[in-house]
Structure 1
């Protein structure tokens, strides 16, 4: 199956989310934010998908890199993940640290 740009396989998404959820050693500031390229979001939004919202899941890929996976959400508040219907899990972020803002507006 050919996936759209930035979509990950369902097996990868499930594995990466489990990697995050099973960790006990991640301090609160290990991952501060995620950089999401506007064009990547536009690529998803341009589709007529029926999404009313999006939900993000923290994840860790098999190489140990922090990820933020994005799925569409329907009007009932349920995730829309069905690869046969074209509802994919997307990986399009780069974590901070590695691409952090130099302007630390969140610090007091």
Structure 2
């Protein structure tokens, strides 16, 4: 079964690096308040053999418009399974392949805003 919403380790590393490099000034200009997490992502990561918990990493996807060259940013929440030894369970680490397909890193791609509950007291 092909997993939904997984990304490569190479992509995850880039997004996490973007977050660390941009975070000090990034939050001054962006309003990310929360993430809407697809149920299938949680089900799939929890169903992996050996998972005892999950770890979430923050990232920023940078996209360049090919026509205008404008850069847009989208906040990302990436979730990986964690084993009983508190180690991230990322298949690419075992295979030593950064660019391989689905690496058991789940891309939570629905930041708030825009995927918000406008009536939630937490969204005030």
Give the TM interval when normalised to the shorter protein. 0.7 to 0.9
- Whether 1:77 and 2:102 are equivalent positions in the alignment is no
Looking at structure 1, the residues matched to 103 and 11 of structure 2 have their Cα atoms a distance apart, in angstroms, of: 15
Report the alpha carbon displacement of residue 75 of structure 1 after superposing the two structures with TM: 1.1
Deviates more, 1:22-31 or 1:49-58: 22-31
Q: Normalization by structure 2: what TM-score? A: 0.72
Looking at structure 2, the residues matched to 44 and 32 of structure 1 have their Cα atoms a distance apart, in angstroms, of: 23
Deviates more, 1:86-95 or 1:31-40: 86-95
Report the alpha carbon displacement of residue 87 of structure 1 after superposing the two structures with TM: 5.4
Q: Normalization by structure 1: what TM-score? A: 0.81
More helix by share: 2
Report the alpha carbon displacement of residue 101 of structure 1 after superposing the two structures with TM: 1.1
SS of equivalent to 1:19: helix
Report the alpha carbon displacement of residue 88 of structure 1 after superposing the two structures with TM: 1.9
Of structures 1 and 2, the larger Rg is shown by: 2
Moved segments of 4+, more than 6 Å: none
Gaps (5+ residues) in structure 2?
64-72, 96-101
How large is the Cα RMSD of the aligned pairs?
Answer: 2.5
